[in-house]
């Protein structure tokens, strides 16, 4: 049995789960998420827990089993606590400004770079730090990765956009002639 898949997901108070044929709806205080039903899996709500089972022991079924449980767990956490990722901008002359849906950055290009957040994601700025927040874990991670890709950190001076907990391995510069 899948180590991840066999663990039940606790349903906190204030969260309602609706199991359908093609999708599972998770509603909570922060919003509603829809999780698709993976093939060869069955989801039941029993005693305040979500239990995921699979139909056979094929390798694909085992993988779908763990995935289904992980998606449901992420949805439950998302509608109760939410997710956030923090990015940091490093570089001389780099600037950041903006509001909850759109940010504008000066990243050393000849033009300012604007990024508009998709629906369900909020962007907050604090000096040279961007916080990406939302209830959908996949969407929060995708938006953070898109913002980071606008100016990836370079290995010599570390200039660019990086995750707050990311470590940039520095390279030595050119060696002078002797």
Backbone angles phi, psi at 115, to 5 degrees: -130, 125
**All structural domains of the chain with their residue ranges:** 9-80, 83-163
- Sheet of 113-116, strands arranged across: 95-98, 102-106, 113-116
Backbone angles phi, psi at 71, to 5 degrees: -65, -40
Q: What is the pTM of this model?
A: 0.89
For the cut 90, the answer to whether the pLDDT of residue 3 exceeds it is: no
**Ordered DSSP codes for 94-126:** -EEEE-SSEEEEE-SSSS-EEEEPPTTEEEEEE
Tens digits of per-residue pLDDT, 124-135?
999 999 999 999
The domain 83-163: what is its CATH number? 3.90.930.12
Asked if the domains 9-80 and 83-163 are classified in one and the same CATH topology, the answer is: yes
Tens digits of per-residue pLDDT, 68-114?
999 999 999 999 999 999 999 998 999 999 878 899 999 999 999 99
Tens digits of per-residue pLDDT, 139-165?
999 999 999 999 999 999 989 999 999
- Which candidate, 118, 23, 145, places its Cα nearest to that of 72? 23
Residues 153 and 159 sit within 8 Å (Cβ to Cβ): yes
Q: Does domain 9-80 have CATH number 3.90.930.12?
A: yes
């Amino acid at each position: 049995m899948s180590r991840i898949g066999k663990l039940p997901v606790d349903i906190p108070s204030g969260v309602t789960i609706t199991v359908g044929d093609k999708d599972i709806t998770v509603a909570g205080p922060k919003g509603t998420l829809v999780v698709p039903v993976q093939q060869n899996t069955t989801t039941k709500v029993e005693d305040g827990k979500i239990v995921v089972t699979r139909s056979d022991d094929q390798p694909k079924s085992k993988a779908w089993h763990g995935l289904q449980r992980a998606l449901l767990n992420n949805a439950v956490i998302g509608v109760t606590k939410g997710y956030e990722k923090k990015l940091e901008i490093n570089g001389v002359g780099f600037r950041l400004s903006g509001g909850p849906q759109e940010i504008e950055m000066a990243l050393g290009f000849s033009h300012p770079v604007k990024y508009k957040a998709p629906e369900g994601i909020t962007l907050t700025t604090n000096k040279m730090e961007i916080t990406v927040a939302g209830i959908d874990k996949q969407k929060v991670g995708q938006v953070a990765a898109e913002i980071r890709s606008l100016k990836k950190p370079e290995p010599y001076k570390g200039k660019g956009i990086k995750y707050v907990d990311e470590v940039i391995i520095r390279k030595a510069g050119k060696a002078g002639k002797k």
